[in-house]
Amino acid sequence: MKILVCISHVPDTTSKINFTNGDSEFDTNGVQFVINPNDEFGLTRAIWFKEKQGAQVTVINVGGVDTEPTLRKALAIGADEAIRINANPLDGTFVAKQLAEVVKNGSYDLVFAGKESLDYNGGMVPGMLSALVGYDFINSCEGIEVDGTSAKVIRQIDGGKETIAATLPLVIGTQKGIVEEKDLRIPNMRGIMTARTKALTVLEPIGVEAATKAVKFEKPAAKSAVKLIDPENLDELINLLHNEAKVI
């Protein structure tokens, strides 16, 4: 079984976010980048298939040379090889079309892609990728078992879970639940050393245009100052809740 895991290179959630060039571009200065968490859950499940069923695991990313440490981490976790498409990921359509070319030529049985990335939260790539390559698509996956060419997939739905029988090949939108946080892999020294010798192939992008363009970013409004009221002064508290906060 051949598995392709799509990896987004995203800012750590603790990073301080700023914008530049008239608030039209993300400022990467001083930002630590990591594997997108939804992708990391998928990667961990792919490594499970490698260990239990002998699957071959390839990770792929659309990005510049600065994303290679993220791919090397995926290799250190246990992926067999990595592919970097040498392009700036301009939008979801652009990324999906770049990935589709690799999927079409790679004969992959499973394609794992996080249901959304935690930077732009577009949630578009897995569905568009499946349409471009003609694979069935199951999103919000919380569990998957494979027997030959048959798969049983559990996905999250409003108010519960749904179990689906499907046939490979598939595109799977991964999230927490396909593995738990406690099952995520931390690269050990042996894995880090081995990752240096694993293949990292760089491909040039195909010529497609981005469908959208970021015009401007805006941070959420700052929270107002907190007023502290003496616990004995209930009259003042009620007055502020009624006349200022207008919640009672």
Residue 166 forms part of a structural domain = yes
Count of structural domains, the chain: 1
Residue 229 lies in a domain: no
Residue 92 lies in a domain: yes
pLDDT at 121: 85
Crossing angle of the two packed helices 92-106 and 125-133, in degrees rounded to 10: 40
Q: What is the pLDDT of residue 114?
A: 96
What's the pLDDT at 108?
A: 97
Tokens, residue 64: 């510049």
**Has residue 150 been placed in a domain?**
yes
Task: Tell me the C-alpha distance between 248 and 243, whole Å.
Answer: 8
| Domain CATH for 83 | 3.40.50.620
The tens-digit pLDDT sequence of the chain (248 residues) is 999 999 999 999 888 889 999 998 889 998 999 999 999 999 999 999 999 999 999 999 999 999 999 999 999 999 999 999 999 998 999 999 999 999 999 999 999 999 999 888 889 999 999 999 999 999 999 999 999 999 999 999 999 999 999 999 999 999 999 999 999 999 999 999 999 999 999 999 999 998 998 899 998 888 888 888 898 888 898 998 888 888 88
In a domain, 194, yes or no: yes
Number of Cβ within 10 Å of residue 36's Cβ equals 25
pLDDT for the residue numbered 83: 98
* Any domain includes 241: no
Q: Residue 214: its pLDDT value, please?
A: 86
Domain that holds residue 15: 2-221
Quick one: pLDDT at residue 231? 87
Domain-embedded: residue 128 = yes
Residue 237, domain member (yes or no): no
Whole-model pTM?
0.88
